[in-house]
Amino acid sequence: MKQQVTVYDIAEEAQVSVATVSRVLNGSAPVSRTTRAKIEAIMHKHQFQPNAVARSLTKRETGIIGVILPDITNPFFPEVFSGIEQEGLASGHTFFLCNTLGDYGRESHFLNLMREKRVDGILFMGGRVNLRSCDPALARELAEHARSIPLVLVNGDVKDAGLTRVATDEAAGTTLAVRHLIGLGHTRIGFLGGARHMSTTAVKVRSFRRTMKEAGLAVRDAWTIPGGFSADAGREQMNRLLSLRDLPTAVCCVNDFTAIGAIKTAAEHGLNVPSDMSVVGFDDILLARHVIPELTTVSQQAGELGRTAVRVLRELMGGAAARKLTPLEPRLIVRQSTAAPGGQGD
């Protein structure tokens, strides 16, 4: 690999000092037209690329934003990341992406790595911050890092850690979904998927119950079936549901994956979605409008979530004290997987 040229080489060839070269590089101070031209020509000739590592060392900033998330393979996250990148690029930021697979050890590892690498800020998603009650040691570790590096939690929370957050209002989203079903005439509604120890599930289930009660409808515990977030989990949950004597006419799913799995199993049992059973998802992943039937779901506006997160992080990096919580309003997307009970509609 050939040797890179430095400001010294440029300075020497242009017969000026490195300071002047640095000035034209950054426009940090006036330089005469002629010397500037000469220096620029030489830079161009050598295809000079200033060493960002050296620059970072002196400026004490790397222009890197660390992004910690559970699993880029889950289609929700690529969309968030896209938003992040789009917004971050505008301010010249660059990204260091890590998948934790929800493993707390990896989370800690990456957090430390990011400190070593001197990232300018961290966007943290998933894992411990989605827990209903996060181990105090893990919470403390996160808060500790947040004291030395601007950090924003995306769609998560850690009680009493005082962290800056941007998050979709999942309770509102769930309410939207339930009301939609009620509006179609459903009175017998279930809730599929999730895990009780995760706050995201807890929030959704709580909102589900509240909305049902507000509408004067009964909540049947047997129809609230947790068990995970994957499509396979959704299949199993629907299987369990269908083993009951008495069935609901509609279900809310914790996310689109489980919804897709649930629909599949329902179909295998000879049920027609939506006429025999309405299903609504959550997230609005890209494929939601391509499956059969097209999925009615709640959009978290993943891209917007990412963009907002970067904006908030930027405030923090700029030294401003951002508001503690920036909420994002979810939206109901009505497609084909929901209809009036008994198929009277659609």
Partner DNA sequence: CTGAAAGCGCTAACAC
Partner DNA sequence: GTGTTAGCGCTTTCAG
Residue 292 tokens, joined = 């059969």
Helix (H, G, I), strand (E, B) or coil at 109: helix
Sign of CA dihedral 153, 160, 117, 24: positive
Residue 340: both structure tokens together:
């009036």
Measured from the CB atom, the residue of 113 and 217 that comes closer to a second copy is 113
Task: Enumerate residues 51-90 that contact DNA by CB under 7 A.
Answer: 51, 54-55, 57-60
**Which of 75, 126, 127, 228 contacts a second copy by CB under 8 A?**
75
Give the interface segment with DNA, choosing from 29-37, 78-86, 89-97, 332-340 (CB under 7 A). Answer: 29-37
Q: Least separation, in Å, of the C-beta of 133 and a second copy?
A: 25
Q: Closer CB to DNA, residue 61 or residue 294?
A: 61
Choose the binding region for DNA from 33-41, 145-153, 171-179, 180-188 (rule: CB under 7 A). 33-41
How far is Cα of residue 119 from the mean position of the Cα atoms in its chain? 19
Rule CB under 8 A: say whether 99 interacts with a second copy: yes
Burial of 36 (0-12, 13-18, 19+ CB in 10 A): middle
Q: Does 26 bind DNA (CB under 7 A)?
A: yes
Strand partners for 198: 131
Residues binding DNA: number (CB under 7 A): 32
Contact segment (CB under 8 A) with a second copy among 29-37, 157-165, 214-222, 286-294 equals: 286-294
> In terms of Cα–Cα distance, which of 312, 324, 327 is closest to 162?
324
Beta carbon nearer to DNA, 9 or 232: 9
**Site residue total, a second copy (CB under 8 A):** 51
Quote the CA–CA distance of 322 and 283 in Å, as a whole number.
Answer: 26
Asked if 213 is part of the footprint of DNA (rule: CB under 7 A), the reply reads no
Q: Which does 147 bind (CB under 5 to 8 A by kind): a second copy, DNA, none?
A: a second copy
Q: Using CA atoms, how far apart are residues 187 and 217, in angstroms rounded to an integer?
A: 6
Tokens of 230: 């994957």
What DSSP string describes 40-85? HHHHHHHT----HHHHHHHHT---EEEEEES-TTSTHHHHHHHHHH
What residues line the site for a second copy (CB under 8 A)?
1-2, 4, 49-54, 56-57, 62, 64, 71-73, 75, 77-79, 81-82, 85, 94-99, 112-113, 115-118, 147-150, 231, 257, 260-261, 263-264, 267, 286-287, 290-292
